[in-house]
């Protein structure tokens, strides 16, 4: 069977650049790849044809022979074309094909610079620390880049060798099924790295990292709440083989306070007051997260009444504006009265009128209406 002209197969002119040839191949390969055309023998044959054309035209030496002598010249150079997918993926265009289909199907490129694992640290802080912000020092046990081999794993002065199983590709391929679907798997020999350490580093024994405890200092911003996450760049697992170190994420847990309750940016506190203060009013001292402050209690304050201290709540981490503090007042009924106190209370009771207890009067008036 007479082979088609390779330029015609890819739909490019004879003076096309290598980038134009690669672009044309990408488009055609994506269109005819068997993974996108299951049970389509025509697509399978077309994919072999365009891959063979690309194998010649992307190679300067083969292209020059082809331009001068055609298909006959290539046969004389030992190039016989591709009879199946195993020929394609064992050829010297494997890298280009691999990278092309990585971009089509969302697979990461081989041997990209990798980032090591991130770490998590859970930190408990007090509500007071969340209010003021704080400088914290924590100790993290982690794998750090081996200082002896710089994360390469090999003893300095030596180098890793190409994996004999995957030939440096980091993965193995095989054809599955009648339609020739290509399956790619991480190389079991080198774990996808493409190289094997033959002379391990004396310090890390080829593991590229060493276990160490490290003290890390960082600042907690004002107003953080439980669930807040602080990222400390580069303090995760150490980098290997020229990659990037991971990051450390500190998760904040704000402990409950004995006196203050938090609701978003607001603070709530329950404060007992005497019956005399509730009746007559007056100034009382109120604790806040920012110290003590005075609050004016109006005369006739009722039990569980709530007053507001503006701007005495938690600072918002984004707006830096403080919330408010709400003071719930609980009127404390006197106990263990002295004889004199009992006499005074009796006199007060005899002087009490409906005007002094309007809620009580309204309650009983409504009760009588509904009987």
Q: Are strands 305-309 and 266-274 parallel, antiparallel or unpaired?
A: unpaired
Q: What fold characterizes domain 113-153+205-255?
A: HSP40/DNAj peptide-binding domain (2.60.260)
Task: Check residue 81 and give its pLDDT.
Answer: 56
Position 181 scores a pLDDT of 60
Domain coordinates of the chain in residue numbers? 6-105, 113-153+205-255, 161-196, 260-369
Superfamily of domain 6-105: DnaJ domain (1.10.287.110)
Give the span between the Cα atoms of 157 and 240, in whole angstroms. 17
One fold for both 113-153+205-255 and 260-369? Answer: yes
- CATH among 2.60.260.20, 3.30.70.100, 1.10.3720.10, 3.30.70.890 for 260-369: 2.60.260.20
Q: HSE on the CB side for 259, CA within 13 Å?
A: 9
pLDDT at 89: 44
CA distance 359 to 274: 20
Are 304 and 329 in contact by the 8 Å Cβ rule? The answer is yes
- 330: helix, strand or coil: strand
Q: What is the pLDDT of residue 123?
A: 97
Show the tokens assigned to 309.
């201290």
pLDDT reported for residue 295: 96
- In sign, the C-alpha dihedral spanning 225, 228, 231, 232 is positive
What pLDDT is recorded for position 196?
93
Side-by-side strand order, sheet with 305-309 = 260-263, 266-274, 325-332, 305-309
pLDDT for the residue numbered 85:
45
End-to-end CA distance of the chain: 109
Give me the pLDDT at residue 71, please: 79
> Which burial class, exposed, middle or buried, applies to 123 when counting CB atoms under 10 A from its CB (0-12, 13-18, 19+)?
middle
Q: Which residues of the chain have pLDDT under 70?
A: 1-2, 35, 76-113, 175-182, 371
């Amino acid at each position: 069977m007479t082979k088609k002209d390779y330029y015609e197969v890819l739909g490019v002119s004879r003076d096309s650049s290598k980038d134009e040839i690669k672009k044309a191949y990408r488009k055609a390969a994506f269109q005819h790849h068997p993974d996108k055309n299951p049970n389509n023998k025509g697509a399978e044959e077309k994919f072999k044809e365009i891959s063979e054309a690309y194998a010649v035209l992307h190679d300067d030496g083969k292209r020059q022979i082809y331009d001068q002598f055609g298909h006959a010249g290539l046969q004389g150079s030992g190039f016989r074309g591709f009879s199946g997918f195993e020929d394609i993926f064992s050829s010297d265009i494997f890298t280009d094909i691999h990278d092309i289909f990585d971009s089509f199907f969302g697979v990461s490129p081989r041997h990209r610079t990798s980032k090591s694992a991130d770490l998590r640290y859970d930190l408990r802080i007090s509500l007071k620390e969340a209010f003021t912000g704080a400088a914290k020092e924590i100790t993290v046990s982690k794998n750090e880049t081996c200082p002896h081999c710089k994360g390469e794993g090999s003893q300095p002065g030596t180098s890793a060798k190409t994996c004999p199983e995957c030939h440096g590709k980091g993965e193995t391929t095989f054809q599955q099924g009648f339609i020739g679907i290509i399956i790619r798997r991480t190389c079991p020999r080198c774990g996808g790295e493409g190289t094997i350490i033959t002379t391990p580093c004396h310090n890390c024994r080829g593991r590229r990292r060493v276990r160490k405890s490290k003290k890390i200092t960082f600042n907690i911003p004002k107003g953080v709440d439980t669930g807040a996450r602080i990222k400390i760049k580069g303090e995760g697992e150490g980098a290997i083989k020229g990659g990037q170190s991971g990051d450390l994420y500190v998760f904040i847990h704000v402990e409950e306070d004995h006196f203050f309750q938090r609701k978003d940016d607001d603070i709530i506190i329950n404060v007992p007051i005497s019956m005399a203060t509730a009746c007559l009013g007056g100034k009382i001292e109120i604790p806040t997260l920012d110290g003590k402050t005075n609050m004016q209690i109006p005369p006739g304050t009722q039990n569980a009444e709530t007053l507001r201290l503006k701007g005495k709540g938690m600072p918002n981490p984004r707006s830096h504006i403080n919330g408010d503090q709400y003071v719930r007042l609980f009127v404390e009924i006197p106990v263990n009265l002295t004889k004199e106190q009992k006499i005074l209370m009796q006199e007060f009771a005899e002087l009490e009128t409906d005007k002094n207890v309007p809620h009580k009067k309204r309650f009983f008036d409504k009760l009588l209406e509904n009987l």
